[in-house]
Amino acid sequence: MATSRPASAASPRSRPTSYHDPPSPDFGADDVPVEVLVRHLLAAKQSLSSMALVLRANDLATHARQMHEESVVLAAQTAFLRRLIDEEVLLLRKLRRGMGHAYDHGQREFGQLVRTLDAANEKLLKTMDMLRDTRVEPVFRPPGEDAKCLMDFVDENSVKVMQDTLMGNIGELQAAQTSFDGDLLRFDHDLRLLHKTLTAAPSPDSPSSSAAYQPIPHLLAALAEHSEAMAQHLTSLTTHFDMCVKAVRATEGGAALARRRAAEAADDGEPVSISGVITEQESHLTDLEPMDPQELAEIVQVVVEDAPEVDEVVAEIQAALQQMEHEFGALKEQADRVRAVWAATLGAFQVLEEIEGRLQGYVAAEHEFEQRWEAEKDVIFDKLEEINGLKRFYEGYASAYSSLLLEVERRRAVEDRIQNTLRKARDNVENLVEADRKQREHFRQEVGEFLPTDLWVGMNNPLKRWELAPMQAGGESQEELTTPTVANAVGGKAPAGR
């Protein structure tokens, strides 16, 4: 590639523009056929189609910059939103643990309560079985009555009513547990859905500082450098084309040949329109534009020297665009990931908002569970006290019956003692009566013949007879009573001294 040429003679690469290089002394413009110049012109015009590649490169660089700016904003928003979500998740899990503790505490209390009820009820049933097994002694019942047990004299139906009430209270407790358990399951489902959504939205990394995004600034710089280099290459190609146009215009027959070759290329379907360019720019000029021979020689020499490098420059533009497409793809992939993380995090936040909308119901369910639990538990404790009270009453009933048996024996012993005492008294009375008879007989034999019969009117009256009869508290005779009372059978009245 020729170097140190003036600005008008710059090469397709990046020719300096500060000074002129004189043409070779052996080189002349006539040494290059016009056909060659026209061919270079057509090739230069065709190379200008690289402008589309340069425009594409500019679009890529611009779009990459916009994507990076968007990624930075989205990453910052995602990080903020994720911190907010993480804080809310911690609160939700803390609340769930508290609800779980309340539920577990209720479960433990329920188990203990059921065991206590079972034990109390078992003791009550054993006491009732003991009453059923205890037969009432016939001495306490009317003659001919069927055998009875102690349980026949208490209201057994009240126990069944109390047990049915207890079962209803336990059912209410279980219903409260079931309802609260359903709320906990729904809460757990919400937390699992939130966790799943957060797992699909990994923690975002800053696209400007994190290791995952370190290539982005480098990619942006590389894209900008490639775009700038391609623009410089296009400028060189444009300059080369302008020099080709000047060389052709200043060469005799060049313009006409250029029009003809351009037309032929158009007929062959080649995407070159050089004839139109010359026609539009030089329709008012002659086919030959005079130029200083030395200047023309310089232009022709630069055109000839730079012409072989045109394809190389075009290839470099194409390669640079391919590299930019690759780098842009890598940057777009990371930008898409940032957008995906933002979208997933936003989705998780929406799920969080839905959960928070149901959170008040979960909290209310916990309060309702605790209130119902305490209310039903108090009722059950009251019933438990009733069970214990019934057990104590039945045990007291059984103990009283045992005491009653002892009382019967005591009374029977007293009656026996009274009977023995009365029997001894009767024997003593009979002895006294017999002694009195003998004394009377002896008295009659001793003095009876000396005493007039009308001196003691009742002297010959017989001895009064005494009998023992059971009496009620009111004084009436009652054969069935066992408490004896002394009564005078003679005359129907008891003696004054009894």
What would the pLDDT profile of 442-478 be if each residue is shown by its tens digit?
888 888 777 777 787 777 788 887 777 777 665 555 4
Asked if residue 169 lies in contact with residue 380, where contact means CB atoms within 8 angstroms, the answer is yes
Range with lowest mean pLDDT among 16-20, 106-110, 156-160, 368-372 = 16-20
Asked if residue 469 and residue 372 are part of one domain, the reply reads no
For the chain, the maximum distance between any two Cα atoms, rounded to a whole number of angstroms, is 223
Is 147 part of a structural domain of the chain? yes
**Using 50, 70 and 90 to split pLDDT, how confident is the model at 25?**
low
Tokens 């059923």 belong to 132
The answer as to whether 335 is a domain residue is yes
Same domain, 313 and 243: yes
For the chain, what percentages of helix, strand and coil (3-state, to nearest 5) are there? 75, 5, 20
Q: What tokens does 329 get?
A: 């793809």
Rounded to whole angstroms, how far apart are CA atoms 78 and 202?
10
DSSP readout, 431-490? HHHHHHHHHHHHHHHHHTTTS-TTSSTTTTPPPPPEEEEEB-TTS-B-TT---EEEEE-G
User: Would residue 193 count as lying in a domain?
Assistant: yes
pLDDT at res. 184: 92
- Asked if residue 306 and residue 187 are part of one domain, the reply reads yes
Q: Is the pLDDT of residue 173 over 90?
A: no
Task: State whether 203 and 65 are in the same domain.
Answer: yes
- Rounded to an integer, the average pLDDT of 324-346 is 85
Separation of alpha carbons 302 and 310, rounded Å: 12
CA distance 410 to 294: 164
pLDDT, residue 215, reads: 58
The answer on 335 and 229 residing in a single domain is yes
Q: Are 246 and 167 contained in the same domain?
A: yes
Q: How confident is the model at residue 265 (pLDDT cuts 50, 70, 90)?
A: low
State whether 196 and 320 are in the same domain.
Answer: yes
- Does residue 396 sit in the same domain as residue 480? no
Q: Do 481 and 337 belong to one domain? A: no
Last residue of a domain, one of 401, 423, 438: 401
Label residue 53 by pLDDT band (50, 70, 90).
Answer: confident
pLDDT tens per residue, range 427-451: 888 888 889 888 888 888 888 777 7
Q: Please, are residues 258 and 288 in contact by the beta-carbon 8 Å criterion?
A: no
Split into its structural domains, the chain has a count of 2
Cα angle 455-457-461, degrees, rounded to a multiple of 5? 130
In a domain, 274, yes or no: no
In a domain, 78, yes or no: yes
Question: What pLDDT shows up at residue 246?
Answer: 79
Percent of the chain with pLDDT over 90: 10
- Listing DSSP states for 15-49 in one string gives ---SS-PPPPTT--GGGS-HHHHHHHHHHHHHHGG
Domain carrying residue 486: 463-492
Last residue of some domain: 401, 423, 441? 401
Question: What mean pLDDT do residues 231-256 have?
Answer: 79
Locate 13 and state its tokens: 């690469």
148 occurs within a structural domain: yes
Q: Are residues 210 and 346 in the same domain?
A: yes
d(CA 331, CA 226): 15
Whether 168 is in a domain gets the answer yes
Q: 26 pLDDT exceeds 70?
A: no
The mean pLDDT value of the chain amounts to 77
In a domain, 46, yes or no: yes
* Shared domain check, 479 and 383: no
Same domain? 394 vs 310: yes
Determine the pLDDT at residue 284. Answer: 40
